[in-house]
């Protein structure tokens, strides 16, 4: 690699570039790009970024063209610019990846918290509606939805018919749904979540 660096740059061409010869610079870029590209890729591990780095390096060379004739080792200088530019790109990439990771983590945590808050808010409205039910209807509802008893088990425990249990549950569910509908203005942001929770809660 060192031997190649010593012969990679034509000092006469550099002198022309130092004088502002754009044609000489175009020839310089065309001649070096393919030689420098593999080296740049080996540093950055990305062909797309390697291309960006070389474009940036050539721009730096053009902007500092007046000092090209003062260089004792122009090849080494060019490779140093590439290495430094690649290092800056790597640091920027790491910062971007860390920032994105933090943002994704924060977004996930926020969504989880909001989801729990929405569910708790909706559940509180259901509990509020249940507490407004007549005591017997409330008891039937809780035995069914909280304790998971069947209609037959509820009927046996309360010494009532299964038809009565069915009617009481139907009335209770209707009341709770109507209660939530009346609250729709205040829970509009949570309406979709509420509906999903209600459907799951009332599933027979």
Are 102 and 54 in contact, with CB atoms under 8 Å apart? Answer: no
Ramachandran sector of residue 155 (left: φ over 0; alpha: ψ -120 to 50; beta: rest): alpha
Ramachandran sector of residue 117 (left: φ over 0; alpha: ψ -120 to 50; beta: rest): alpha
pLDDT range class, residue 196, cuts 50, 70, 90: low
Residue 149 has what pLDDT?
A: 85
Percent of the chain topping pLDDT 90: 2
- Whole-prediction pTM value? 0.45
Q: Which of 92, 88, 86 is nearest to 53 (CA)?
A: 86
Percent of the chain topping pLDDT 70: 75
For residue 5, pLDDT beyond 50: no
Residue 6 has what pLDDT?
A: 43
Mean pLDDT of 179-193: 58
Tokens of residue 161, six digits: 């018919």
Residue 7 has what pLDDT?
A: 44
Model confidence over 37-48: pLDDT tens digits? 999 998 888 888
Mean pLDDT of 3-27: 76
Domains contained in the chain, CATH given: 2-98 (1.10.1740.10), 132-201 (1.10.10)
Model confidence over 89-131: pLDDT tens digits? 888 878 777 777 766 665 565 566 555 555 666 777 778 888 8
Model confidence over 49-59: pLDDT tens digits? 888 899 989 99
């Amino acid at each position: 690699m060192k031997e190649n660096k010593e012969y990679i740059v034509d000092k006469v061409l550099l002198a022309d570039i130092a004088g502002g010869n754009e044609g000489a610079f175009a020839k310089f870029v065309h001649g070096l790009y393919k030689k420098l590209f593999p080296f740049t890729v080996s540093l950055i591990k990305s062909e797309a970024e390697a291309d960006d780095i070389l474009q940036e390096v050539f721009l730096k060379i053009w902007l500092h063209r007046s000092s090209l004739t003062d260089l004792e080792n122009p090849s080494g200088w060019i490779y140093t610019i590439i290495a430094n530019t690649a290092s800056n790109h790597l640091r920027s990439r790491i910062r971007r990846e860390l920032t994105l990771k933090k943002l994704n983590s924060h977004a996930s945590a926020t969504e989880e918290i909001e989801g729990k808050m929405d569910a708790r808010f909706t559940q509180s409205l259901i509990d509020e509606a249940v507490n407004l039910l007549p005591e017997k209807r409330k008891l039937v509802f809780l035995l069914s939805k909280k304790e998971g008893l069947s209609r037959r088990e509820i009927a046996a425990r309360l010494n009532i018919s299964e038809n009565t249990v069915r009617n009481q549950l139907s009335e209770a569910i209707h009341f709770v749904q109507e209660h939530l509908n009346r609250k729709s203005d205040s829970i509009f942001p949570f309406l979709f979540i509420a509906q999903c929770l209600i459907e799951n809660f009332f599933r027979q």
